[in-house]
Amino acid sequence: MEKICSENFTNLTYEVFVENLFKSSSAEVEMKAHTMIKLERILRPALKFLSSEKRVEIYSQGRKRVLEALSDEVIERKFSPSRDFETELWGIKFRSPIMNAAGMFKNGECYELMAKQGAGAYLGGTTTALKNSGNTNGNIVNPFITLPKSNSAINWLGLPNNGDEFVLYEAKQISKMKRSLKCPVGWSLAYQSNFGFNPEKQMEMLVRSIKDYSNVGVDFLEINESCPNTGENNINVLSLGTRLLKLKQQIPTKKVPIIVKFSNDIDLSQVGGLMELLIDSKYDGVNFGNTSTNYELHRNSIDEIERKDFDYFTSTLGGGISGKPLKEKSLELCTEAVKQVRRLNPNFEFNVIRTGGIDSAEDILDSKKSGILMNQWFTGYWENFGKSGHDVYKELYGNLERLA
């Protein structure tokens, strides 16, 4: 069988293969996102005959095309979660305890679609003040690869987004739509770390972004202090504390809750200090954690068949690991954060959000048992979307009801 696949595959040019992978048999009819993902699963046996570099190139292009296809899709039916799943944080009524993580919809794509699928909320971004093309390696733009047997993925995107000038308009339109769709909206923002701006200018630009997104009607904001793909993944708690305190002091009028997102690679011993820092600075919550760059730790979690791609990507590009390998650590960090918040007992509402490895109803229940009221998923969403299509949230909530 492998020989047949190999012989057939070698008769295809690279360009034709990509076209067949992401388009229907009619060159003029674009596939739906779910169909693309299902076709990719069928064609996986042929992909193993390619080099790791070629696979990264294919999946990097494919990620963009799937998102473009999803952005163009319109579904008429609207699925509303049971009121039993409703979760209130900061006076905001979230429809359920799970929503997408930052990075899925950087420019405000797919809000209506996520709301109709039944998401608890919607998170746009991460957005920077100016347009950012992200990372490129040779002819591979925004490198990405999925590791399906490991329920994982790796990316070296580097915060590609269209910048505030474009995205603020989208956020404003979304804020109008939420009146009828009843799906809360948050936005992830980050410092403009490229283009050579000094720290003071970066701070000034982020402060302006915070004010602008608050003014267009988003319900909460998330400050991304965790991206591993911008060359700033080492956290110095002292300098971080100074930066976050200064940032908060420059936002005198509190309009929306502001939470801070940290990496999944934070050491457990640092959590107490970070909670003291955020609470003293009057932030409203914390999110652990983003993708991981601890390759040595997670390599054993990667299926042996996929370690070649894992090793190529991490040694050549770097990037952040996402998905199932992060599940245990994200729960550990967030559980400790909840304990520390209870110890500090702030006189205002402070919530802990969990990101990393969320892919099932069991994960949401594990979070709830630890006092974590909100979850975000990324790799887990796409894995479940591949199975359930637009019923992705409906299936998840059905599993939650059965387990409750």
Cβ count within 10 A of residue 397: 22
- With tokens 């910048």, the residue in question is 163
Quickly list DSSP for 17-48: HHHHHHB-SSTTSBPPHHHHHHHHHHHHHHHT
How confident is residue 164, by pLDDT bands cut at 50, 70 and 90?
Answer: very high
The amino acid at 337: A
Q: Report which DSSP code applies to 101.
A: P
Question: Which of 47, 73, 99 is the last residue before a domain boundary?
Answer: 73
pLDDT digits (tens, 9 = 90+) for 275-286: 999 999 999 999
Does one domain contain both 102 and 218? yes
Does one domain contain both 214 and 323? yes
Distance CA 192, CA 205 (A): 7
Query: What does the block give as tokens for 260?
Result: 């801070």
SS3 content of the chain, % helix, strand, coil (to 5): 50, 15, 35
Q: What is the pLDDT of residue 202?
A: 92
pTM of structure: 0.90
Give the pLDDT mean for 97-101: 97
Asked whether the beta carbons of 333 and 288 are under 8 A apart, the reply is: yes
Q: What is the pLDDT of residue 7?
A: 40
pLDDT digits (tens, 9 = 90+) for 250-268: 886 778 999 999 999 999 9
pLDDT digits (tens, 9 = 90+) for 38-92: 888 888 887 878 899 999 999 999 999 999 999 999 898 889 999 999 999 999 9
Distance CA 31, CA 26 (A): 9
Q: What is the pLDDT of residue 49?
A: 84
Is residue 271 over pLDDT 90? yes
How many domains are there within the chain? 2
pLDDT digits (tens, 9 = 90+) for 392-404: 999 999 999 999 8
The amino acid at 267: D
How confident is residue 232, by pLDDT bands cut at 50, 70 and 90?
Answer: very low
Q: Which residues, in sequence order, are CB contacts of 316 under 8 Å at separation 6+?
A: 53, 137
Q: Is 136 helix (H, G, I), strand (E, B) or coil?
A: strand
Does one domain contain both 105 and 165? yes
Cβ count within 10 A of residue 262: 24
Beta bridge partners of 89: 92
Range of the domain at 350: 79-403
Q: What is the pLDDT of residue 18?
A: 52
Q: What is the pLDDT of residue 288?
A: 93
The string over 65-74, giving b where at least 16 C-beta atoms fall within 10 Å of a residue's C-beta and e elsewhere, is: bbbebbeeee
The DSSP element (H or E) to which 6 belongs, if any, is: helix 2-10
Q: What is the pLDDT of residue 28?
A: 38
Q: What is the pLDDT of residue 2?
A: 43
Q: What is the pLDDT of residue 21?
A: 55
Q: What is the pLDDT of residue 36?
A: 86
Q: What is the pLDDT of residue 236?
A: 56
- With tokens 């490198």, the residue in question is 143
Q: What is the pLDDT of residue 45?
A: 81
Does one domain contain both 119 and 146? yes
Is residue 195 over pLDDT 90? no
> Across the chain, what does the average pLDDT equal?
88
Does one domain contain both 314 and 190? yes
Question: Which of 55, 73, 91 is the last residue before a domain boundary?
Answer: 73
- With tokens 């049971």, the residue in question is 82
Does one domain contain both 54 and 169? no
Q: What is the pLDDT of residue 238?
A: 62
Does one domain contain both 34 and 180? no
Question: Which of 19, 46, 73 is the last residue before a domain boundary?
Answer: 73
Q: What is the pLDDT of residue 30?
A: 55
Name the nearest CA neighbour of 107 among 86, 133, 76, 80: 133
Name the nearest CA neighbour of 189 among 260, 97, 283: 260
Least confidently predicted of 27-41, 171-185, 284-298:
27-41
Q: What is the pLDDT of residue 196?
A: 82
Q: Is 62 helix (H, G, I), strand (E, B) or coil?
A: helix
Does one domain contain both 174 and 318? yes
Does one domain contain both 40 and 85? no
Does one domain contain both 156 and 53? no
Does one domain contain both 204 and 302? yes
Name the nearest CA neighbour of 130 among 194, 226, 187: 194
Q: Is 122 helix (H, G, I), strand (E, B) or coil?
A: strand
| CATH number of the domain to which 200 belongs | 3.20.20.70
Cβ count within 10 A of residue 15: 8
More confident residue, 306 or 9: 306
First-to-final CA distance of the chain: 45
Distance CA 52, CA 59 (A): 11
Does one domain contain both 6 and 112? no
For the chain, what's the residue count? 404
How confident is residue 307, by pLDDT bands cut at 50, 70 and 90?
Answer: very high
Q: Is 127 helix (H, G, I), strand (E, B) or coil?
A: strand
